[in-house]
Structure 1
């Protein structure tokens, strides 16, 4: 199968002809350089790829900011990490459009600044300024970490603007999201408590006291070297979930980066897998002999906890969509 793609190299777009063919059970791909991409070559039917090995993304095109919104301040050199400036700007445009749809004054919403620093992190700007995303110089930074940090900074900007200009909506969002956050935390702790990890009670205490969810190791092999993906429990990543605000920033940042449709589809697929695993675990528990019922019961409880966590995170995603109108946005991958 042959098709044309656009690859972004140091913030510039180039055309390539790619051919995919199957060798046994593997798929090989060869690329042939065509030339620089222009506005005329960005046809709607073209596939766009950010870099080799990444999923195809929608066409990167110049989008217009709503009236009153400021342009993002990207002062760092993103070429070494193969991150284009235009996709980051498109995420910013999506965020501003959501706030503009709520009737907010965008001139009072400070843009996100990207500059060089010692590590990849997000911090609040000085003297009431916007959020600042820092990244190391050269190729020392993690590309995915930079994207996650920029998405979280945009989400924090949206929540701050909502709290300042629409406190009624912010209060309603906090009420609904806090309930989902607490229910998800209980489900995650229940999952850990019924796992075979030797340090499970320490992990449960850490999640209950500080909201930090450490990687949960898989039970299939009984080895600590394998752990499940955070998306299996509806989480965006392992780490601290101090309150509902941290959970909302992670979820909203992922939607701004990947789009509401793909995120909803991912949650739906994970929920279907969890429901299937729950039914199988329940059936195995019913059929288990007396001496094997203890382990089968724990497996069933883990499956139930996983279903509960995914259901609550899906509810949180729908809550964000109801406030910001995320389903009207277009995903712009980088």
Structure 2
């Protein structure tokens, strides 16, 4: 059966066309039933495709004369949605020419364009940005929101939990993912009124395909004890940046320690397999691909600095969500809770 093709904003990302095309080509090796719509400067895309004949055979090019700048305000980008590679990639999802879009461009512009063009799903007030992070266990953890909504009420948090659980069922294969609300403590009386209200609603709900048991503190996010961490975009973005910064700090600290003396360099050679494993685990490229959940279509945000492997992971996320019908799962879950009034 033919699957919906994936639109790639070929101009998005710090490295531009070459890396976006190479990354999509890598992803296609695992998902060879997919076709691609490459959006951007036609001449540059054709030049990049010359190195990937298999990808070229599975792709169509849509020329876009403009590009959304990295520092461009979302309001400015919206005015050029019909001429930019980002805007045309999103529009392809709206018109059905593609089932998903992947971009490494301006996050604020991508969010604004996607929300205006695709609208939110029935029963969802706001889309949320969900990212994947490594844990000490075999499975990754999903956290949302990571910055799309800085101020959220209990209704928003409940909806985020439902969307995150649907995504996690695809990612982890768990029938009932472990969902927790990010808080400053695990006691029931800790946190804001919004958190306590959301917790009470999720505890009282029946029929939700998740295992909810209250709160998680920030130091437990990566322990492997939870599958979905739910929070507002303000706290989520701060937590994400703190985790990423700590990962870079550890990596740089180890590098400095292993090059400080001859003895340290010898120690590095002995421990190199372990340090390489650590480096691989902490490399954000291996967990690249944040998703705007709650829209009428799949939009995946690749990190702007992602290399080809990172872009491939973002494209793979889009492919898996199409294969596993994420939007249909979320719609079914929202319909399940509607009669009970949860999240209202």
**Fold agreement, TM-score > 0.5:** no
Relative contact order, CA 8 A, sep 6+: which one is greater? 2
TM-score by length of structure 1 reads 0.29
- Larger Rg computed on CA atoms: 1
TM-score by length of 2: 0.28
